[in-house]
Amino acid sequence: MERTRLCRLTLGKRRPPQHTVSTVLTRAYLSLGSNLGDRVAHLREAIRKLSDLGAVTNCSSFYQTEPVEFTNQPEFLNCAVELVTTLNPHQILDAILKIELAMGRDRSTQPRKGPRTIDIDLLLAGDSVLESPELVLPHPAMQHRRFVLEPLAEIASDAIHPALHRTVRELVDRLDKGQAVTKLPRSC
């Protein structure tokens, strides 16, 4: 009888909620560029700020690159970064937009392809393939841009584009020889 009563008391009580912490890690690859002011300092500051989102586990050399599409502007410095984080792709995007804004770039008021202190693009996030109004993954133009692929190939040549099913190295090898991209001795 006592056992029955204890069971009824236990069943009638609410258990405290159990919280789970996400430990799912995303390996994301980002492209960074700057063509205004102290470009090296801007890239380094952005990389430092990205480390607040997780672990920056790899960073390419810096590359001097010609602007594309809107060509009447200063040349860029570009690099690629590997970030391991618990954030999902939309959270990563939100965070990099805040970093850009804090560094003086407001995408809502500045020309889309114009000069900028910093540009951070999310290229790949694990094997995610997404299409939403805010975010398309993999980055929809990465396979056409030498200034993105050369730095990325330096740190992740075997990474697979999850929609095209090709490695980054294969994507680089398929590019036409158009844009000038020069690897510099400086790095992050």
Structure confidence by residue, pLDDT tens digits, 79-92: 999 999 999 999 99
DSSP state of 130: E
Nearest to residue 113, comparing CAs of 143, 76, 168, 146?
Answer: 76
Q: Is 119 a catalytic residue?
A: yes
For residue 121, the Cα-to-chain-centroid distance in whole angstroms is: 5
Structure confidence by residue, pLDDT tens digits, 127-172: 999 999 999 999 999 999 999 999 999 999 999 999 999 999 999 9
Which of 14, 39, 94, 121 is flagged as catalytic? 121
Q: Is 158 a catalytic residue?
A: no
What CATH homologous superfamily does 24-187 map to?
Answer: 7,8-Dihydro-6-hydroxymethylpterin-pyrophosphokinase HPPK (3.30.70.560)
Which of 3, 38, 94, 116 is flagged as catalytic? 116
Which of 3, 15, 106, 119 is flagged as catalytic? 119
pTM score, whole prediction: 0.84
Query: In the chain, where are the structural domains located?
Result: 24-187
Which of 39, 105, 145, 146 is flagged as catalytic? 105
What average pLDDT is seen over the chain? 86
Residue 111: predicted pLDDT: 66
- C-beta of residue 155 within 8 angstroms of C-beta of residue 60: yes
The pairing of strands 26-34 and 166-167 is unpaired
Q: How confident is the model at residue 43 (pLDDT cuts 50, 70, 90)?
A: very high
Do you find a cis peptide bond into 16, omega within 30 degrees of 0?
no
Q: How confident is the model at residue 8 (pLDDT cuts 50, 70, 90)?
A: very low
Nearest to residue 181, comparing CAs of 152, 141, 138?
Answer: 152
Q: How confident is the model at residue 22 (pLDDT cuts 50, 70, 90)?
A: low
Residue 14: predicted pLDDT: 46
